[in-house]
Amino acid sequence: MLTRNNVVHLPGTANTRVVSSPKSASKNAISLTKTIVKKLELPPGKDDIVFWDNSLAGFGLRIRKGGKRVFVAQFRDEAGATRRVTIGSTDVLEADEARAQAKKLLGGVAIGNDPAKAKKEARLAVKFGEMLDKYLAHAKDKQEASTLEATTRNLRTHSKGFHTTALREIGRIDIAELHGKITKKNGPVQANRVLASLSGYFAFLVARGQVETNPVNGVPKNVEKGRERVLTDDELRAIWKGTESGSDYDRIIRVLLLTGLRRSEVGSMRWEEVAGDLWTIPGERMKNGLAHEVALTESALAALPEAQDKGFVFGKEMIGERRGYSGWSRSKGRLDGRLKIADWGLHDFRRTMSTKLHDAGVEPHIVEALLAHISGHKGGVAGTYNKAAYRTQKRAALTLWAGMIDAIIKAGP
């Protein structure tokens, strides 16, 4: 502990003054041996302290609140500013090993080298593609499987031109040029999605000191027009008949059509969530964060694969990670090749169901409850009702919708 004279008492050792800078190292420093390093502690009331070594000026042990203990080397750069670099943690280095590394580093300083500058230069020389695996591993714990798939594609495929470029060489103009190219080739929406993935990646790099700023900031997004696509009866019939193979994706398409749910909600469906003909989606998988009940009509139940006790309904069960169905883009591309329906997306099922149920006289707040919206009627007076109060009405509306789809299918050739 520290006394009034700023002396640290170490069990089994003589009293030694705390040295606050290398200037006094030769006079009042500690001999940083293996034994003493283990005994040194952060003095009460201190958040951060450095104990300097008496045999090598500029070499010390830094202890911080929270228990972090690292060996450091301190020196003055060519401009006369005090710089400090970390040699390594006491968990992996003994005092003698750290002192040897510090001696080599400080010897380089004496002949004009700047280790802090060299370390920064090495960090900035890291290429775009070299950090992708770390970022995607980080994103896996934060993004749903379908989102992670899109992020991976955006960074590995659409941003492939950056992979061999040093991070520090990628500026706003480069990001803007890529955004423009993707806009022309893949459309404004896809270009914006790549921009969002790049922004997330560079934010990750900024937080870890790999880059100083996010070059995506300030690059204008494309204006996206809200979709108003409502599928026609002929299109609905073609989609239904084009998804009769029994594959996971074809089954998902039919469940999406019959329930009006989002693809992530169906793609991550688990057997544990299904009780008879009632499917309860937990709040953590819903966009609005609220648990959502779905009445499974006969048509919806028929679209599911053979029931299991547990696990994902679609896709593969991956131990230790969230998975479910993946491969959305490839499967959608193959389906589009069979159907030849222009400019349609899975989200159009929700809009189509909403439009047709409204036209059939279903009350707006019931339709919104089916779609798991929290705005409009549900955000007002109707939003105060318990979700169970809509259970009967929602089931009736989904039964009506299943009947409408059945009639559309039978009406065609």
Annotate 143-189 with DSSP letters as a single string.
Answer: S-HHHHHHHHHIIIIITGGGTTSBGGG--HHHHHHHHHHHHHHH-HH
**Is-contact 99 59, C-beta < 8 A?**
yes
Residue 264 CA to residue 324 CA, distance in Å, equals 9
Percent of the chain with pLDDT over 70: 83
Q: What is the SS3 assignment for 185?
A: helix
**Is-contact 236 175, C-beta < 8 A?**
no
Q: Which of 403, 409, 401 is nearest to 367 (CA)?
A: 401
**pLDDT digit string (tens) for 108-119?**
776 566 666 666
| pLDDT higher than threshold 90 for residue 85 | no
| pLDDT higher than threshold 90 for residue 161 | yes
Q: Which of 163, 159, 158, 155 is nearest to 139 (CA)?
A: 155
**Is-contact 348 231, C-beta < 8 A?**
yes
| pLDDT higher than threshold 80 for residue 125 | no
Residue 317 CA to residue 319 CA, distance in Å, equals 6
**pLDDT digit string (tens) for 302-357?**
999 999 888 899 987 654 555 688 888 889 989 999 998 888 999 999 999 999 99
Q: What is the pLDDT of residue 262?
A: 92
Give the position of tokens 């204008």.
Answer: 220
**Is-contact 230 351, C-beta < 8 A?**
yes
Give the residue-averaged pLDDT of 205-218.
Answer: 90
Q: Hey, CA dihedral for 140, 141, 144, 150, is it positive or negative?
A: negative
Q: What is the pLDDT of residue 17?
A: 32
Per 3-state DSSP, the chain is made up of helix, strand and coil in percentages (nearest 5) of 50, 10, 35
**Is-contact 42 49, C-beta < 8 A?**
yes
Q: Which of 11-25, 54-68, 94-108, 259-273 has the lowest mean pLDDT?
A: 11-25
Residue 118 CA to residue 37 CA, distance in Å, equals 28
Q: Hey, CA dihedral for 361, 365, 367, 370, is it positive or negative?
A: negative
Q: Which of 81-90, 128-137, 195-204, 372-381 has the lowest mean pLDDT?
A: 372-381
**pLDDT digit string (tens) for 274-283?**
999 999 999 8
More confident residue, 252 or 81: 252
Residue 310 CA to residue 378 CA, distance in Å, equals 33
| pLDDT higher than threshold 80 for residue 9 | no
Give the residue-averaged pLDDT of 17-21.
Answer: 38
Q: What is the pLDDT of residue 255?
A: 97
Q: Hey, CA dihedral for 361, 366, 372, 376, is it positive or negative?
A: positive
Residue 126 CA to residue 118 CA, distance in Å, equals 13
| pLDDT higher than threshold 60 for residue 196 | yes
| pLDDT higher than threshold 50 for residue 21 | no
- Return the axis-axis angle of helices 233-241 and 391-411, rounded to nearest 10°: 90
Domains of the chain: 7-119 (3.30.160.390), 128-207 (1.10.150), 233-411 (1.10.443.10)
Give the residue-averaged pLDDT of 129-148.
Answer: 87
Residue 32 CA to residue 43 CA, distance in Å, equals 17
Q: Which of 34, 111, 26, 74 is nearest to 87 (CA)?
A: 74
Q: What is the maximal distance between C-alpha atoms in the chain?
A: 98
Q: Which two tokens stand for residue 278?
A: 């009632």
Q: How far is CA 305 from CA 116, 130, 238, in A?
A: 60, 41, 22
Q: Are strands 82-89 and 7-8 parallel, antiparallel or unpaired?
A: unpaired
Q: Which two tokens stand for residue 112?
A: 């004009």
Residue 197 CA to residue 162 CA, distance in Å, equals 13
Percent of the chain with pLDDT over 90: 53
Residue 148 CA to residue 218 CA, distance in Å, equals 24
Q: Which two tokens stand for residue 407?
A: 């009639």
Residue 235 CA to residue 339 CA, distance in Å, equals 9
Kindly report the average pLDDT of the chain as a whole number.
Answer: 83
Environment class of residue 399 by beta-carbon count within 10 Å: exposed (0-12), middle (13-18) or buried (19+)? middle
What lies within 8 Å, CB to CB, of 123 at 6+ separation is 209, 210
